[in-house]
Amino acid sequence: MSTATETHDRTDGRSQAAPAPPGRSRQLLRWWPAAVLLVLVVAPYSAVPVPGLLDGPLGSAGSLQLIATCLLFGALATGYDLLLGRTGLLSFGHALYFAAGSYATNVFLLEAGLPFAAAAVLGLCFGIALALVLGSVSLRVTGIGFSMVTLAFAQAGSILVSRNPGGVTGGEEGRAAPADLLPSWLVGIDNTANLYWIALAYLVLTLGVVHWAVRSPTGRVWEGIKENERRVEVLGLKPYGFKLTAFVVAGALAALGGIVHLILTGGSTPQTTTSDFTLSLLVMVVLGGSGTRWGPMVGGILYTWADHRLGDLAGSGAVADLPAVLRVPLSQPLFLLGVLFVAVVHLLPGGLARLPSRLAALRRGGPAEEIPPRKENGNP
């Protein structure tokens, strides 16, 4: 009897020890960004077809161009969220610094005849200086006043570009960067993979800078400013300097993105100077989840992909053959994007970044609201 009991106890011990500890599972899940990064790095070498998501194989020039554009705007939305989601600053002029990096680099290339590397460095410095000057003025006011001042500066920049002073901006048609002024390894369909890797490097750099900044002491002050700026003042800190730091860092990342956009598209376009461009960034951030680590990136990638793919769908023969009551709205890409945005906002308050928590809540049989959003060093 005792032998049978001991055998039963040992069997129970083995059966109880079989499941992996929850802590080990969480540690393994922490490595998913590295796995995704590895897949993205080797994507140009893959010929795997992705029907429905891409028109051609994963490593084809067209697919890499689309993925690179998605990565670019995923990074840009992440940098913009440094203002909106981390510091609580609603800026309507973020497109200005993106355009400044692109146009300034292009002007240094075309007018000054500088090598691309030197022109890019000067273009980045110009974008940073512009963010510093305009940010120091805009942050003298708060709330809706700040938003309106940033919008005014953006509108002034857009008008300046469209007026084409001295012929340096190209007006409403923009200005292309001639292939002979760019390094040979950045020109041509055969070098699309190089452009893709640059866009991927920009995304990794932006994620690293934002993550480091948010976890720093300055990042904790940003969170305090977002929650209660008056309380930060009572503690003896001056919010103005911290907000200006966030504004300049976000502007620098946007200017760098403008340079990447210049080489990715081969020119500077006036569409990047409009307030609609900044509103698109706002939609990306809200779609993914403002104030979260991965949400703005996911929102930027999804929005950019949908913008391109829904445009193809709207002009397809399948839509053209539909009755007028369906054909008219479905032939408008903005209508489809709007429906997608409204659906996500209504069904997933807090953005796509909250989806894992809500799914976990459903599995446990409780309401999604019972699971609070994951925080990162005190940040949502």
pLDDT of residue 72: 97
To the nearest whole number, what is the mean pLDDT of the chain? 84
pLDDT in tens, 207-222: 999 999 999 999 999 9
Helix axes of 61-84 and 192-215: crossing angle, nearest 10 degrees: 20
In 10 A of CB 234, how many CB atoms? 9
pLDDT of residue 365: 67
Q: Which residues pair with 57 in a beta bridge?
A: 49
pLDDT in tens, 298-311: 999 999 998 887 77
Angstrom distance (rounded) from CA 238 to CA 233:
6
> For 252-258, what is the mean pLDDT?
97
pLDDT of residue 378: 41
pLDDT in tens, 99-119: 999 999 999 999 888 999 999
Polymer length of the chain: 380
Q: Is pLDDT of 11 > 50?
A: no
Angstrom distance (rounded) from CA 43 to CA 230:
48
pLDDT of residue 226: 93
pLDDT of residue 52: 75
**Residue showing tokens 């945005």:** 341
Top pLDDT among 138 and 27 is at: 138
Least-confidence region, from 46-50, 52-56, 224-228, 249-253? 52-56
pLDDT in tens, 152-181: 999 999 999 999 888 888 888 888 888 888
Q: Which residues pair with 379 in a beta bridge?
A: 376
